[in-house]
Amino acid sequence: MYGRFLYAWPSTPEYRPLSNDADEFEPDLQNALTALIRLPSEDADGMFYSKTISLSPDAVAVFEAFRIWSDQTKRGLDGHELHWFVKGETTALRLAGTLAYMAWAMARSKPSASGYDSIVAAMEPEVIDKQFVAAAIRLWRDFFWPHARASLRQIGLTDRHKDARIVLRWIKVRGKREVSAKDVRRHALAQRLDAEATHKLLDELVKSGWLKKHTTETAGRPKHRWEVNPKLALAPPEEPEEGEGEP
């Protein structure tokens, strides 16, 4: 379901002291939302019916340019980013329709419209014009897409990224300065990976600079430890879980 969300971070509002005064709602906005709610969605028999609204020729041209850009961009993506990105074309169309109907509803709600303007304002959109498609594409590409990338990177682009983030978070929370493969596999990953996959994950963290591997020769099998980058190990250490730190 993550691919169906439009992620966004609203700007932090300025501080305002507590007040018993309620903000007054904009009448035009209330009227517009009421007009949208009252749009008929059923036929004479009470059955749901759909209505087809086409793009204008100019809107089609703008949308095709967006599709070309999307096709080129998606080839450089992978994992969750790719799965979210490929829904962009249909999402942009839905946004364009939403913007067109919002503009219609706002125009319809203005009491100042008269004559021809009032007749036009009362008519539902028959086509989606270029301006709404362009605005929807700009909204999706310049706002929702960057925010989606940030959100998806928080959860991990792939299962491999997820596991790496879990391990790094576990190291940071416990203030580890050094870890063993057994620590990581048993406590950080709850034995979700086998020994071979755990070592591959640790090797990737070494390549990315988060860990540094040290090997100590013994009479038996060499002992491997991974030193943690000081930039990560900033949190104070917690009490170790049972069995942590064992060789």
Q: Which residue has the higher pLDDT, 93 or 10?
A: 93
pLDDT at 30: 82
Segment holding 55, helix H or strand E: strand 54-55
- Same-domain pairing of 32 and 94: yes
pLDDT at 242: 46
Distance CA 161, CA 201 (A): 9
pLDDT at 216: 84
Distance CA 146, CA 219 (A): 54
| pLDDT, tens digit (0-9, with 9 covering 90-100), for 115-171 | 545 545 567 888 999 999 999 999 999 999 999 988 887 766 567 777 888 888 888
- The answer to pTM > 0.85 is no
pLDDT level of residue 24 (50, 70, 90 thresholds): low
| pLDDT, tens digit (0-9, with 9 covering 90-100), for 41-83 | 777 777 887 888 999 999 999 999 999 999 999 988 877 888 8
- Same-domain pairing of 33 and 89: yes
Q: 2 lies in a domain?
A: no
- Same-domain pairing of 169 and 223: yes
Distance CA 108, CA 113 (A): 8
Q: How many domains does the chain have?
A: 2
- Same-domain pairing of 164 and 140: no
Domain of residue 189: give its range.
159-228
Q: 45 lies in a domain?
A: no
